[in-house]
């Protein structure tokens, strides 16, 4: 198993320190290597919080998060930073490309902290850009690209360090139908051909239906449900 969350608790306190809201309550989740799963649920149910915990951008109040055999929830920030750069790729609803850089430069940014061999990084960037159909756009800046092209570039950036786990938070949420369908297809193909484990938070039942497993996050815990139409009705 690649990812194992055990009895996760997470609460948030108001800025006045008086009100604590429990977002995750005894949550458990196991994800096998190479699996692709979707997490759906009402707005405010804690989906993004859960993704941030999985991606080590936040820590649980209690419980354990294991990546393979490593108890990553016990690591310090320096250890987690190295882990994130090497093992996890992130795709968000908005691409967050740096506007002053070209697409090519944006994609290579994650390789800089690792002091990676740039020749190898360039070869991988070229391969990924050609695979995703945006190689001809590599010299353009984000403002010169379509929303779909920017989001594909964000996927390439997430893959440049060859992560084992790809986390996507509403990746099709800001796209029109045509681009959303294209990005959904791209993510599933990456999972299939690159053997990268995929965890997607989404409101899109079309994207959720393409995953191996579906989970509804409600009242702080996950409920397995492999019928997207029943989730959509809740």
Q: What is the pLDDT of residues 32-79, one digit of tens each?
A: 999 999 999 988 899 999 999 999 999 999 999 999 999 999 999 999
Task: List b or e across 177-210, with b for residues whose CB sees 16 or more CB atoms inside 10 angstroms.
Answer: eebbbbbbebbbebbeeeebbbbbbbebeebbbb
Q: What is the pLDDT of residues 125-183, one digit of tens each?
A: 999 999 899 999 999 999 999 998 998 999 999 999 999 999 999 998 888 888 889 88
Q: How many residues does the chain have?
A: 234
Token pair for residue 54?
A: 């999985």
Say how many CA atoms lie within 13 Å of 133 toward its Cβ.
Answer: 12
Whether the model pTM is above 0.85: yes
Q: Which candidate, 24, 23, 156, 168, places its Cα nearest to that of 90?
A: 168
The superfamily CATH assigns to domain 33-62+76-232 is: P-loop containing nucleotide triphosphate hydrolases (3.40.50.300)
Domain ranges of the chain: 33-62+76-232
């Amino acid at each position: 198993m690649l990812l194992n969350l055990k009895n996760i608790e997470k609460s948030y306190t108001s800025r006045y320190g008086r009100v604590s809201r429990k977002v995750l309550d005894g949550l458990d989740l196991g994800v096998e290597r190479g699996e692709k799963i979707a997490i759906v649920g009402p707005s405010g149910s804690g989906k993004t919080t859960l993704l941030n915990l999985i991606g080590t951008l936040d820590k649980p109040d209690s419980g354990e998060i294991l990546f393979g055999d490593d108890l990553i929830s016990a690591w310090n920030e320096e250890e987690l930073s190295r882990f994130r750069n090497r093992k996890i790729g992130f795709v968000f609803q908005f691409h967050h490309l740096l506007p002053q850089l070209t697409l090519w430069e944006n994609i290579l940014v994650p390789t800089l902290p690792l002091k990676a061999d740039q020749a190898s990084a360039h070869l991988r960037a070229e391969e990924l850009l050609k695979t995703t159909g945006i190689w001809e756009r590599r010299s353009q800046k984000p403002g010169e690209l379509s929303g779909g092209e920017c989001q594909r570039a964000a996927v390439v950036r997430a893959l440049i360090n060859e992560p084992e786990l790809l986390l996507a938070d509403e990746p099709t949420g800001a796209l029109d139908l045509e681009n959303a369908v294209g990005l959904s297809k791209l993510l599933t193909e990456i999972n299939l051909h690159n053997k990268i484990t995929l965890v997607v938070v989404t409101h899109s039942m079309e994207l959720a239906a393409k995953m191996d497993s579906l989970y509804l996050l409600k009242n702080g815990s996950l409920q397995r449900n492999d019928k997207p139409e029943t989730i959509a009705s809740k």
